[in-house]
Amino acid sequence: MDAKLLKGKPVAEAVYTRVSKQIGFLKEQGVFPKLSVILVGEDPASQVYVRRKGKACEKLGILSETIVLPADSSEQALVTKIEALNSDPKNHGILVQLPLPGHIDEDKIIRTVSPQKDVDCFHPQNVGLLVSGNPYMLPCTPAGIVEMLRFYKIETESKHVVVVGRSNIVGKPMLNLLLQKNKSANATVTIVHSRTKEISAHIRRADIVIAAIGQPNFIKKEQLKKGSVVIDVGINRMDADNEKGYTLVGDVDFDQVYETVSYITPVPGGVGPMTIAMLMQNTVTAAAVQNKILLLEE
């Protein structure tokens, strides 16, 4: 095995082992964790992600329901559906797949999901709890990255982490997670984004770079400190002369930076599997909390 490669699969498997035990424990007490996923429209990438979430539930023995609404559904129809799930005690997690069609107010929908069932950690109440250092849910992709760093024994404490990208899904919650006061965080964190001046100068000071900008091969060798750790969250489709007609590449120019870095996540096969693994963890956490059951961490 390539010692530099941080693969997601073994880490996701370790999470699944932990979550499986927790599911068994909940079931012994008559609680059957359930996740509902809502997809509005027919975006092909979203369809793939939603299908993967359903499959992960099936594999673990989490009940799941996928609700597909037509692209021209009204905002009210979506709100009504979410409210029904909020008040169903047999349903513990709700995920509305983003992006939503343009006529639907995404912020309003995020606020409609009950904070107790918000397995994405998108609701302002859950974001607030994370920022104030007392999180209920952990944001899936950032929590998956922390899991990977822990699994591969890459310390973050007192390290300088530069997060490239300020999205609500990855960049901002990543910052907040790495600022937590615990051994798997305690980092000094810088966020850089499209309006940052001299972005390369910041990245070059990083011990760990987390790239989440959605631009293929954006980060180059000259921007990295020798021996730095690179976590690439990007999944970009590039046209290619193959059967599929495209290939997936990250936000980091993998081939070019490979010699410079000490560790790097491949794309695909790096961070990718972690998001769904953490979603399963959040669903089980939500089911436990809603039934006032204390879960053991390991």
Catalytic sites, residue numbers: 53, 97, 120
Subset of residues 149 to 208 that bind ligand GUN, contact rule: CB under 6 A: 169
Based on the shown chain and the rule CB under 6 A, indicate whether residue 96 belongs to the binding site for ligand GUN. Answer: yes
Q: How far is the CB of 147 from ligand GUN (least distance, A)?
A: 15
Q: How far is the CB of 244 from ligand GUN (least distance, A)?
A: 21
Give the 3-state secondary structure of residue 148: helix
Q: Where are any strands of DSSP class E within the chain? A: 34-40, 63-69, 93-96, 160-164, 188-192, 208-211, 229-232, 236-239, 246-249, 263-264
- Cα-based angle 41, 43, 45 (whole degrees, multiple of 5): 140
Subset of residues 131 to 160 that bind ligand GUN, contact rule: CB under 6 A: 140
Nearest CA to 286 out of 32, 14, 78, 12 is that of 32
Q: Which region among 4-12, 54-62, 90-98, 123-131 touches ligand GUN (by CB under 6 A)?
A: 90-98
Nearest CA to 55 out of 286, 216, 279 is that of 279
Q: How far is the CB of 221 from ligand GUN (least distance, A)?
A: 29
- Chain position whose Cβ is nearest to ligand GUN: 98
Interface residue with ligand GUN among 98, 179, 235, 248 (CB under 6 A) is: 98
Tell me how far apart the alpha carbons of residues 101 and 72 are, in angstroms, rounded to a whole number. 8
Query: How many other β-carbons are positioned within 10 Å of the β-carbon of residue 285?
Result: 21
Q: How far is the CB of 182 from ligand GUN (least distance, A)?
A: 23
Residues that bind ligand GUN (CB under 6 A): 95-98, 120, 140, 169, 275
